Amino acid sequence: MSTSSSKSVKQDSFTVSLTVGAYGIAFGAAAVADHFTVLQACLLSLLLFSGASQFAVVGVMGAGGSAISAIATSTLLGSRNALYGLRLAPILSHRGIKRALGAQITIDESTGVALSQSTNEEMKKGFWYTGIGVFIFWNFFTLLGALGANAIGNPSAWGLDAAVPAAFLGLLWPRLKDKKSWGVAESAVMVALALAPFAPAGVPIISCAIISVIVGWRE
């Protein structure tokens, strides 16, 4: 019984790791298309290691934004990882070096697999297997994507300029579950586009965080 469930945790973790990690290829390519070097693309995957935040760093700067607005947007997008850590802390009960290492792999996927298990032991396994698995595949595919984009030259000719907003749309889509989330999304599009002609690049994006604060504050 315990062997079979531990096997299924491993299978879940592996499947998630490979499928999610493979998108590292899109990130590596997008980073290079947005004028980051291969080394910088790889360091973002190693050190930042949070998909949406990484895309935001290269996307904001690719659109001409400053480093500050790139960092601010990335950090706001990464704030959910703090809440994941909070949710997982009593389950993992890590200390010292394990907590420090576990923190780096506290992301959507490791949290998702961990919380979908039924026993504490399986949750721990799900967290570590998935976190480490995604980390390995994500970094490997980032390098591939960055090298590939470096080799092919003009990103527009390969459609990479549309791949980044399409990836954002794909990350956004599952979150649009009800009227409230659609309302926030529509307002953000309008505010961002209204500010775009006047505000410095990057500012129209980060400004939209206020919409979430206003809507989330009420009710």
- Which residues inside 160-189 make contact with other proteins, applying CB under 8 A? 160-173, 175-176, 180-181, 184-189
Specify the residue, 5 or 209, whose C-beta has the smaller distance to other proteins.
Answer: 209
Where does residue 58 rank: exposed (0-12), middle (13-18), buried (19+ CB within 10 A)? Answer: buried
Residue count, binding to other proteins (CB under 8 A): 100
Q: Which residue in the set 79, 116, 119, 120 belongs to the binding site for other proteins (CB under 8 A)?
A: 79
For the bound state, the minimum distance from the C-beta of residue 21 to other proteins, rounded and expressed in Å, comes to: 12
According to the binding rule CB under 8 A, does residue 120 interact with other proteins? no
Q: Which pairs with CB-CB distance under 8 Å and at least 24 residues apart come from 8-14?
A: 9/113, 9/117, 9/122, 9/125, 9/126, 9/129, 10/125, 10/129, 12/113, 12/116, 12/126, 12/130, 13/113, 13/125, 13/126, 13/129, 13/130, 13/133, 14/129, 14/133
According to the binding rule CB under 8 A, does residue 121 interact with other proteins? no
For the bound state, the minimum distance from the C-beta of residue 184 to other proteins, rounded and expressed in Å, comes to: 5
List the interface residues with other proteins, window 6-45 (CB under 8 A): 22-23, 26, 35-37, 40, 43-44
